[in-house]
Structure 1
Amino acid sequence: MKADVITLSTYQSAHLPEIRSTLLDVYAEVWAKEAATDPFFSIERFDDRLSGHASGGDWTCVVGELGGEVVGYAYGRLDSVREWREMLSPVEPSVRNYGSDGTFGLCEIMVRLPWRGKGVARGIHDELMRQRAEERASLLVDHERRKVRALYEKWGYRLVGEIQPFSDSPRYDALVLPLR
């Protein structure tokens, strides 16, 4: 499968009502196994997080489609300073420095099973990052998902610490990527 046959569409906060059910459907499919045993991964909890993420005017989402079928998406927003205060490990001072243009927080990136391992996630990610004016991007990856973290590191992300954003969430590795 070639990434150039995938249509990438960009949405902002105002568009969430029209794409919300699509985002929830993909999430429910991708996280079904985890949601069956851990309430943090339930569709209801994700919907709450989605609402919070999209509540600011800086939320952006890129959805990938092939032949009218959604294959995956990524979305994010400006990071909040509060999130970086929740670091569980000591971090170098530059991690807490947002720079003049801030840090774009990649909140979610997910690709449906049939399209994994085909470069789809990278294409969606790169399109989202191409549109950003911030100096860097950040993301969180479950500390136990070493292969996923290694993939992000191949994309240029650098591990900066560990964080637990919610009392019932997994511990996450925090990574940053220079954008400029």
Structure 2
Amino acid sequence: MSTRTDVMIRTYGPGQVPPLLDLIADIWADAHPELVDNPGAATAGLSVPALHRQINGHLAYPGFTLVAAYAGGTAVGFGYAFPCSATYWFGPALIDQVPEGARTERLMGLCELAVRPPWQSQGVGSMLHTALLKTINPRWSSLLALPSNNRGKGLYARLGYEYAGPYRNEPSGPEFDLLLLRVDGQAHR
């Protein structure tokens, strides 16, 4: 993996995000072509309209942060996260199964991290992740990944995330892999 030196990361707070929603959705759709126009994915809540609803719902969380990567003035990737409680993030089924620190120390819920295919495997996802860690300054970070998302899971493994168990947002929803990262205080400084 090479690292792009011509990429700039910008950080946005909740009030700056609504005008960016269509751009963010376009990046998400480029990064997830297998989900676009897939009725099964849409039914499972993995669609552009669902992404809009998800982001709009998360904007109210204190500490909400969105980061976007730009190359040559063009947006090539984004990620967003916010500090959250372990009860909210893990839910009652998993809260007792995660390490104590993930339940009691500052937790970041990483909701989305997407990079357009031409810029994947060039360090852009890592740069976005680092920017979120710097801004939110968590002790733990957690995210949900589709078991079939091998590219994403490869990035998350390189970043140090480990599998913590299966997770469903709702009983009939898709099963995700819950991934956890204990953040080394020096890793993102």
Please classify the TM superposition score into its range, dividing by the shorter chain length: 0.7 to 0.9
SS where residue 17 of structure 2 aligns?
A: helix
TM-score norm. by structure 1 comes to 0.87
Report the CA distance shift for 1:93/1:45 in structure 2 as closer, same or farther (over 3 A). Answer: same
Is the 1:87–1:162 Cα contact (8 Å) retained in structure 2?
no
Q: Which residue does the alignment assign to 1:74?
A: 79
Count of aligned pairs: 178
Counterpart AA for 1:125: H
1:91, 1:164 → 2: CA distance? 15
In structure 2, the residue matched to 1:43 is: 48
Paired AA for residue 51 in structure 2: F
Partner of 2:16: 15
CA distance in 2, matches of 1:74, 1:143: 19
Moved over 3 A (4+): 86-90, 166-169
Distance of 1:65 and 1:86 partners within structure 2? 39
Describe the SS at the equivalent of 2:34: helix
User: Structure 2 stretches of 5 or more lacking a match?
Assistant: none
Contact 2:166/2:177 (<8 A) preserved: yes
Q: Does residue 29 in structure 1 map to residue 27 in structure 2?
A: no
Q: Bigger CA drift: 164-173 or 48-57? A: 164-173
Tell me which residue corresponds to 2:100.
94
Q: CA RMSD in A?
A: 2.2
Instruction: Pick which of 154-163 and 76-85 moved more.
Output: 76-85
Q: Structure 1: give runs of 5+ residues left out of the alignment.
A: none
Q: CA deviation at 1:2?
A: 4.4
Correspondences of 1:143-158 after superposition (within 5 Å) = 143-158=147-162
